[in-house]
Chains A and B, each alone.
Chain A
Amino acid sequence: MSEYNWQVFQTAIGQTFFIVSISVVVGGLLGLALGLVLYATRPGNLMANRPVFILLNILVNIVRPIPFVIFLVAIQPLMLASIGTTIGTNAVTFALSLSAAFAVSRIVEQNLVTVNPGVIEAARASGARPISILLTVLVPEALGPLILGYTFIFVAIVDMSAQAGLFGGGGIGDFAITYGSQRYDWPVVYISVAVMIAIVQAGQFLGNYLARKALRR
């Protein structure tokens, strides 16, 4: 790879790291909140609220299956209103964070459902508030599977970040296409792919390790 390519590649790696890390953190937190509300408001649960539950449930069901590229186009008005642009790294990060939040919310909800209801009963019997039970009992009790769920989402975000180039977001995927395949420079393509694989592998390894620790296995 040429000196110039190296510099571009480094910028691209930086962009991917930016997009992925912001999306994982923001999408992860938003999704956690949304998932907790989904779980808690389900009829019969800690803060049962049928209208809120039905509304959120439908919203998540509608948004989640939309392919990322289309989702990004669809939320352009929202993007414009909140960050003032619809292209570039920030725009892609914004869309990816939001998209990830919806995916994370289901993963959170599904993992909380598996927590033994008796444990929630014990916490209620201790006089704990529903919010406190959600954050200090349910999340820790489901931590192992939650970490694995987040790992899954991390990989999906890395995958989606490769499409950032379509909206001027840059990143490793964009680099591989623009400087690699379009110029028939195959080493550039392979190196890019190798870096993507390394990122995914590292994330998966870390996720598995943390989940095992949480599960004490």
Chain B
Amino acid sequence: MPQQSEVHVRLEGVTKTFPSAKRGAPAQEVLRGVDLEIRKGEIFGIIGQSGAGKSTLVRLINGLEKVTSGTLTVGQHTVSGLRESELREVRRDIGMIFQQFNLFRSRTVAGNVAYPLKVAGVPKAERDAKVARLLDFVGLLARAHDHPEQLSGGQQQRVGIARALATDPSLLLADEATSALDPETTQDVLNLLRQVNRELGITIVIITHEMDVIRSIADRVAVIDGGLVIESGSAYDIFNDPKTPEAQRFVGITLRDRPSAETLKRLRANHPGRLVTVRVQDRPGFQTTLSSAFLKRDVGAEIVFGGISELQERPVGSLTFVLNGNDTAIDAALSALREDDFAVEEV
């Protein structure tokens, strides 16, 4: 990955307020002071519930909406201070794809991809060559003369991606780009986006309400709630150790590694003893250290719930044990583990 440290998009105290639709109704404060740094060449995920302000945030980046206050920069441009005519120039360096693809029904597949090139005034011969290259890249060269409605959803999104890449942008904005697709097609499109990122070095900002998407491709993540970024960091850290309840909820939905309240009730009924959840850690001898802490003190430890999966080639998840034995021995085992930086939680 190229120069991970260079900042590509920076938001400082960005707010966005929509005036009230009806006279007298309060204005809607959608973003209330967002700070973010998106680095060149990374895939940055932004996750939040529906209505959290994700689409608004991403539309601020290419100036489709204007920030109410704060500063937003993309590369060398301070987008938050630009006039519409200047914004049009900046937008040619920023591609965008959408949940509903938003292809032009009046144009063929090739015509859709050619559109941004026409806007940029690229001569026809050059345009045709570029369109062919892009369609080849997304695997749809054979469908160049079809119309969008003749394609499947996944294929339409591929056309959307080709169109977004037409003017060789350095940044690609993806607003719920896979939310209208079935799980299998979602993976295909995410793989294509990863290819765009790795092969072309394009920075990608991907907005989603599905943690699975983040898990599949994001390098870093921001969780947005109530108009604020409430948590951000590497995807691994967020999955491994979500700090806020909102992040924990998103992670829980995806990993399904922690027992729900109902499952806990059932576990308690079936297993006399104390229940503890231990977070899986990427360290040598994790399981050996864990089990020996219990064995040494004659504590019976049985796994009753849990899940381990991989994220960025590192394990994430958690295991829930039922512990049987002397209470002092159990306390001793737990504090020894905590001493050793194990994340142990009695549930």
Instruction: Using CB atoms and an 8 Å cutoff, list the residues of chain A in contact with chain B.
Output: 116, 118-119, 121-129, 132, 136-137, 140-141, 143, 214, 216
Among candidates B64, B89, B105, residue contacting A121 with C-beta atoms closer than 8 Å: B64
Beyond A116-B100, A122-B104, A128-B119: 19 further Cβ-contacts under 8 Å? A118-B102, A119-B103, A121-B64, A121-B102, A122-B98, A123-B104, A124-B64, A125-B94, A125-B95, A126-B92, A126-B119, A127-B91, A127-B92, A127-B120, A128-B88, A137-B106, A140-B104, A141-B106, A216-B147
A115 to B147, CA, bound (A): 17
- Taking the closest CB of chain A, its distance from the CB of B281, in whole angstroms, is 42
Please tell me if B116 contacts chain A, counting CB pairs below 8 Å: yes
B342 an interface residue at 8 Å Cβ cutoff?
A: no
With both beta carbons as reference points, the residue of chain A lying nearest to B117 in the complex is identified as: A126
Check: B238 CB closer than 8 A to any chain A CB: no
> Does B107 lie at the interface of the complex (its beta carbon under 8 Å from any beta carbon of A)?
yes
Tell me which residues across on chain A come within 8 A of B94, comparing CB atoms: 125
Taking the closest CB of chain A, its distance from the CB of B134, in whole angstroms, is 14
Residues A129 and B102 in contact, CB atoms below 8 Å apart = no
Complex formed: what's the CA distance from A214 to B106 in Å? Answer: 8
A148 nearest CB across to chain B (Å): 15
A118, A125, A132, A140: which contacts B106 (Cβ < 8 A)? Answer: A140
**A129 engages B88 (CB within 8 Å):** yes
Counting chain B CB atoms within 10 Å of each CB, the highest count among A116, A128, A141, A216 belongs to A128
Total count of chain B residues near the partner, CB < 8 A: 28
From B89, B95, B96, B104, give the contact of A119 (CB < 8 A): B104
B64:A125 contact, CB within 8 angstroms: yes
In this complex, the member of A127, A129, A132, A143 whose beta carbon has the largest number of chain B beta carbons within 10 angstroms is A127
Is B178 an interface position by the 8 A CB rule? no
- Alpha-carbon separation in the docked complex, A7 to B258 (Å): 94
Identify A126's interface contact among B100, B103, B106, B116, CB under 8 A. B116
Tell which of A116, A126, A136 touches B91, judged by Cβ atoms closer than 8 Å: A126
User: Which chain A positions have C-beta within 8 A of B120?
Assistant: 127
Q: Which residue of A lies closest to B147 (CB)?
A: A216
Contact B105 A132 (CB under 8 A): no
User: What is the CA–CA distance of A121 and B92 in the complex, to the nearest angstrom?
Assistant: 14
Interface check B137, CB cutoff 8 A: no
Decide: B115 and A126 in contact? CB cutoff 8 A: yes
User: Bound state CA distance, A127 and B64, in angstroms?
Assistant: 10
Residues of B within 8 A of A (CB): 62, 64, 88-92, 94-96, 98, 100, 102-107, 115-116, 118-120, 147, 163, 166-167, 173
Contact status of A127 and B116, CB under 8 A, knowing A140-B104, A140-B107, A141-B104: yes
**Chain A residues closer than 8 Å to B107, beta-carbon distance:** 140
User: Which chain B residues border A121 with CB–CB below 8 Å?
Assistant: 64, 98, 102
A122 nearest in chain B by CB position? B102
Number of A-B pairs, beta carbon distance below 8 Å: 63
CB-CB < 8 A to B92: which residues of A? 126-127
Q: A118, A129, A214: which contacts B98 (Cβ < 8 A)?
A: A118
CB-contact partner of A122 in B88, B89, B96, B167, under 8 A: B96
- Report Cα–Cα, A132/B118, bound state, in Å: 11
B residues within 8 A CB of A123? Answer: 104, 115, 119
Q: Establish whether residues B102 and A127, one from each chain, have CB atoms under 8 Å apart when the complex forms.
A: no
Q: How distant is A123 from chain B, measured CB to nearest CB, in Å? A: 7
B152: min CB distance to chain A, Å: 18
Q: From A144, which residue of chain B is reached at the shortest CB distance? A: B106
A57–B116 alpha-carbon span in the complex (Å): 33
The answer to whether residues A127 and B119 also contact, given A140-B107, A141-B106 and a CB cut-off of 8 A, is: yes
Task: Kindly state the separation between the CA atoms of A123 and B92 in the bound complex, as whole angstroms.
Answer: 11
Which of B88, B103, B105, B147 contacts A127 (CB under 8 A)?
Answer: B88
Q: How far is the CA of A137 from the CA of B111 in the complex (A)?
A: 12
The 10 closest A-B pairs by CB, nearest first: A118-B102, A140-B106, A127-B91, A126-B116, A125-B96, A122-B102, A127-B88, A127-B92, A128-B119, A141-B106
Please indicate which of the listed interface residues B100, B104, B147, B167 has the most CB atoms of chain A within 10 Å of its own CB: B104
- What are 8 A-B pairs with beta-carbon distances under 8 A? A119-B105, A123-B115, A125-B64, A127-B120, A129-B88, A132-B119, A136-B118, A137-B104
Q: Which residues of chain A are near B106, meaning CB under 8 Å? A: 137, 140-141, 143, 214
A116 to B104, CA, bound (A): 9
- Give the residues in chain B near A116, CB-CB below 8 Å: 100, 102
Chain B nearest Cβ from A84, distance in angstroms: 43
| Minimal beta-carbon separation of A119 from chain B (angstroms) | 5
Docked complex Cα distance between A61 and B284 (Å): 78
Q: Nearest CB to that of A140 among chain B residues? A: B106
Complex-state Cα separation, A137 to B120, whole angstroms: 15
**Residue numbers in B under 8 Å from A129 (CB-CB):** 88
Q: From residue B188, how far is it (CB to closest CB) to chain A in Å?
A: 21
